[in-house]
């Protein structure tokens, strides 16, 4: 079929027909949700916001849709320099026929790889490098994506739980104080959560909690 062809150049490189390139692109689009979750800041953000919701004692407010929407747009904000670099180095040259599909894919992977390396702990990298059996890696930059992605996700989970723990402490103190006061007054049948909830909301509002949380999450990706 003329529409499905592979041409081999003199230097050994191969050029695929537009039909095959479109097929490969449509196939790659199915991996976008997984890439968004596992290769960007989305994982850390969604976990921190979910822990914050439980710390406030509001398991269903903000709603799941609101939490996911906040995490998605904050992810776009944090990852915008990476996306701009990918557009500049890979997408635009490919559209202008300056790069082949393979070269564009390699160029697009470099900015996201640099971002993930900056957020991945050495201990997590060493763990997955050891399990993979790779012995010839001389630097972090040589780590392949198949090792870097699980190491990055592991680091993100650890960082997210660390931030969530710090967020939980002030609300836990309020719960302990309210429970102690109720016990001393003999009100053992009254749930401390009912009394502490307005105080936790008031504290969160007075300290401009959403501003602090969003600012802290965004800053955590650039302060090493």
* Tokens 């969604």 sit on residue: 46
Share of the chain above pLDDT 90, in %: 4
- pTM, whole model, 2 decimals? 0.77
E-only strand ranges, the chain: 6-8, 14-16
- Asked whether residue 3 carries a pLDDT value surpassing 50, the answer given is no
pLDDT of residue 1: 45
Q: In 3D, which of 81, 77, 74, 76 has the Cα closest to residue 48? A: 74
* Distance, CA of 43 to CA of 39 (rounded, Å): 9
Q: What is the pLDDT of residue 95?
A: 77
Q: Considering only residues 47 and 13, tell me which one the structure prediction assigns the higher pLDDT.
A: 47
pLDDT average, residue stretch 128-152:
78
pLDDT digits (tens, 9 = 90+) for 54-68: 888 887 778 888 888
Q: Which residues pair with 15 in a beta bridge?
A: 7
> What is the model's pLDDT at position 11?
47
Res 38: pLDDT: 81
Sheet strands (E) in 11-110: 14-16
Q: Would you say residue 118 has pLDDT above 70?
A: yes
Q: How far apart are CA 74 and CA 41, in angstroms?
A: 9
pLDDT (tens digit per residue) in 161-215:
998 898 888 888 888 888 888 778 777 776 777 788 888 888 888 888 888 888 8
Distance between alpha carbon 152 and the CA centroid of its chain, in Å?
A: 9
- Non-local CB neighbours of 27 within 8 Å, separated by 6+ positions: none
Tell whether the model's pLDDT for residue 2 goes beyond 70. Answer: no
């Amino acid at each position: 079929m003329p529409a499905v062809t592979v041409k081999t150049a003199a230097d050994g490189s191969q050029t695929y027909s537009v039909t095959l390139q479109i097929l490969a692109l449509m196939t790659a689009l199915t991996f976008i949700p997984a890439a968004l979750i596992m290769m960007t800041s989305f994982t850390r953000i969604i976990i921190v916001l979910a822990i914050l919701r439980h710390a406030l004692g509001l398991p269903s407010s903000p709603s799941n849709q609101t939490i996911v929407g906040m995490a998605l747009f904050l992810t776009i904000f944090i990852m915008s320099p990476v996306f701009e670099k990918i557009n500049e180095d890979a997408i635009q040259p490919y559209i202008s026929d300056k790069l082949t599909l393979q070269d564009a894919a390699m160029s697009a992977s470099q900015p996201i790889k640099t971002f993930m390396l900056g957020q991945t702990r050495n201990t997590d990298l060493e763990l997955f490098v050891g399990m993979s059996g790779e012995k010839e890696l001389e630097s972090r930059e040589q780590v392949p994506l198949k090792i870097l992605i699980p190491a990055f996700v592991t680091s993100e989970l650890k960082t997210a739980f660390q931030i969530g723990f710090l967020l939980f402490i002030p609300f836990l103190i309020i719960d302990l104080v309210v429970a102690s006061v109720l016990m001393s007054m003999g009100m053992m049948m009254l749930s401390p959560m009912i009394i502490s909830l307005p105080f936790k909301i008031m504290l969160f509002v007075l300290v401009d909690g959403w501003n602090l949380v969003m600012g802290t999450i965004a800053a955590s990706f650039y302060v090493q």
